[in-house]
Amino acid sequence: MIEIELFTDPACAFAFSAEPVRQRLRWHYGEGLRWTPRMIVLTREPGEAEKLAQGAPGLQRRFGMPIDPRPYSRPASSEPACRAVVATRLHAPERADALLRRLRVRVMQAAAAVAAALEGDVAAARTPPPAARALDHKLGGPPKKRRYTAPSYIIGGVTIPGFNPVEAYETAIANRDPDLPRRPKPKSVHELLTWTDEPLATAEIALIMQLDLEQARQALHAATAQWHPDGARSDSSLTETVPRPPGGRAVVQAERRGDASIKPRAPASRQSRAPLTKGGM
């Protein structure tokens, strides 16, 4: 088994845009990887909250993930959400990944007992090793106190800072454990949905199945996807729903604005109207 530390932040749109990469690694290597989410708390640096509040329309268009491009009404700290992820990691680690995804649209508080662990994450994110410092253009923060940008990975002790393609992480995994079993790409949408334990955006399905976005949408249609108006911000807003496959555990539900933005949705009876997360590095 290979340990992976993922330095990230619930408010970071770059990190959320990289979720298809993480999902594909999960598909290929499954239980061979053990993930630990570490919180950067981007807003500790002056000006970062204001930067996050500007929105990220370029990332939405480029990567097709569900990021609302509109600016925040005001800057806000990402620390409460980071604290909640750390609390879950300490007390219910099997739920940490699911909470991290949901905290991109929610902000929560946690007990003071979590403070020390959160500060440990913050300190680790701001003391990257020499290998990471050699790639200074992949780091953030002020010149005298560099930090990881989100997402940054430590895979079996190998540091890979910043936003990277999935091949960078697979190379590190192969070097750490050449014998680690690697599952082939899914044969069908239903096979993928049977495996996943959380709703997937179309962009994530596309990367895992090694398709482009349009091919992924066609595959969803072929799997009896249904399109109907969502009633969001524009006339082009649609929701695609793939029924739960026999014996499956998850439903893909996503919103499309034009051909770019994809938003995972809760089941109809429990849909949230919370605003989407916006952010940056």
Task: For residues 76 and 127, state if they share a domain.
Answer: yes
**DSSP H or E stretch at residue 229:** strand 226-229
Task: For residues 8 and 135, state if they share a domain.
Answer: yes
Query: Of 153, 176, 199, which one is at a domain's C-terminal end?
Result: 176
Whether the model clears a pTM of 0.75, i.e. scores above it, the answer is no
User: What is the arrangement of strands in the sheet containing 33-39, beginning at the earlier edge strand?
Assistant: 33-39, 2-8, 152-155, 158-160
Query: Of 176, 211, 238, which one is at a domain's C-terminal end?
Result: 176
Query: Of 150, 176, 202, which one is at a domain's C-terminal end?
Result: 176
User: Is the residue at 278 inside a domain?
Assistant: no
User: Is the residue at 181 inside a domain?
Assistant: no
Give the domain extent around 230: 189-269
Beta carbons of 251 and 241 less than 8 angstroms apart: yes
Task: For residues 155 and 193, state if they share a domain.
Answer: no
b/e code 60-96 from CB counts within 10 Å (16+ = b): beebbbbbbbeebeeeebbbbbbbbbbbbbeeeeeeb
Task: For residues 193 and 162, state if they share a domain.
Answer: no
Task: For residues 258 and 234, state if they share a domain.
Answer: yes
Distance (Å, whole) CA 250 – CA 272:
17
Task: For residues 113 and 237, state if they share a domain.
Answer: no
Task: For residues 50 and 148, state if they share a domain.
Answer: yes
Beta carbons of 160 and 8 less than 8 angstroms apart: no
C-alpha atoms less than 13 angstroms from C-alpha of 213 in its C-beta half-sphere: 16
Beta carbons of 16 and 281 less than 8 angstroms apart: no
Along the 281 residues of the chain, how does pLDDT read in single tens digits? 999 999 999 989 899 899 999 999 999 999 999 999 999 999 999 999 998 888 877 888 888 887 777 787 788 899 989 999 999 999 998 888 888 877 754 532 234 446 788 889 999 999 999 999 999 999 999 998 999 999 999 999 999 999 999 999 999 999 999 999 999 999 999 899 888 887 788 899 999 999 999 999 888 888 765 444 333 333 223 334 444 444 544 444 444 433 333 333 444 333 333 333 333 45
User: Is the residue at 131 inside a domain?
Assistant: yes
Task: For residues 166 and 206, state if they share a domain.
Answer: no
Task: For residues 164 and 193, state if they share a domain.
Answer: no
